[in-house]
Amino acid sequence: KNQVEQSPQSLIILEGKNCTLQCNYTVSPFSNLRWYKQDTGRGPVSLTIMTFSENTKSNGRYTATLDADTKQSSLHITASQLSDSASYICVVRTGNNRKLIWGLGTSLAVNP
């Protein structure tokens, strides 16, 4: 069964600290993996999209990694800011039926 699991479910860190969010998937065949940021009361916004051949991709203070062999991805946030408080969702697209399999997200709270 195609599934995307994220950990931790929620996380609280202090402003300025780094953190890493995890995503494990069992989707097959694999096409690409996306990380979204969803602020409270808003729609998700894409942070990165990674294909099979990409190991690391950065978008400002966000760095995503992908290990297609172990079917794991991580999102590392550097020097966190209060505005990073949001839900971070991992999404994997299947390679055959064009479906996006969504994770439940990690709720991140950055405190001053």
Binding site for another protein (CB under 8 A): 31-32, 34, 41-46, 49, 51, 87, 89, 93, 98-100, 102, 104-105, 107
Give the 3-state secondary structure of residue 16: coil
Nearer to another protein, 13 or 102 (CB): 102
> What is the DSSP secondary-structure string of 23-74?
EEE--SSEEEEEEEEE-TTS--EEEEEEETT-SEEEETTEEEEEETTTTEEE
Nearer to another protein, 15 or 31 (CB): 31
Nearer to another protein, 75 or 89 (CB): 89
CB of 44 to another protein, least distance (A): 5
d(CA 54, CA 69): 12
CB of 7 to another protein, least distance (A): 15
CB-side exposure of 80: number of CA atoms within 13 Å? 22
CB of 19 to another protein, least distance (A): 19
d(CA 58, CA 47): 9
Nearer to another protein, 85 or 102 (CB): 102
